[in-house]
Structure 1
Amino acid sequence: MSSISKVMAAVSTSITDFKANPNAVLEQSNGEAVAVLKSNQPSFYAVPPELFESMVDAVEDLALLMEANARLNDGQEAVSVSLDDL
């Protein structure tokens, strides 16, 4: 029975090509994540620094949103303040 894996990237390369010149692979990806395949299965994903930074920012934003929602729903009465008071 063959194994099927979902590839979570529009760009992929073999691990052999990636090992030969990882910088060239990332440059050719035009800023997208690259699925590095071993035996036609994803082994790992390589991402350029700019994409990684945006991913980290998105995770941090999500964590802040979850914290804000938890505070809004904590059952305590809201306190009104003006921007001038801050």
Structure 2
Amino acid sequence: MIETVYQISFGMMVLALLLASIRLLKGPSLPDRVVALELMASITVGMVVLYGAAYNQPKIIDVAIVLALTSFLAAVGFSSYLEKRGIRNDD
């Protein structure tokens, strides 16, 4: 029973990743693309944690923590870069 839940969860995360990648490619503005990229990073972290839980690999969760911290720092760096450059929106 729990294996079915894991498979459904993986499928839903893959679908969410696909939809986020579509938004990343089609996003009408730069903030939309940044949010889609952050969403993809969060979904990837969730998939890594789900994999660790599904296959009883608790050490994999450390990888998810590092990935989450790295994506957060990338978002902060990117927003700082845009602020210093003076870009407020994408026309």
Provide the TM-score with structure 1 as the length reference: 0.34
Name which one, 1 or 2, has greater alpha-carbon Rg: 1
Query: Which is bigger in relative contact order (C-alpha 8 A, separation at least 6)?
Result: 2
Give the number of the structure whose residues are more often strand, by fraction.
1
Provide the TM-score with structure 2 as the length reference: 0.32
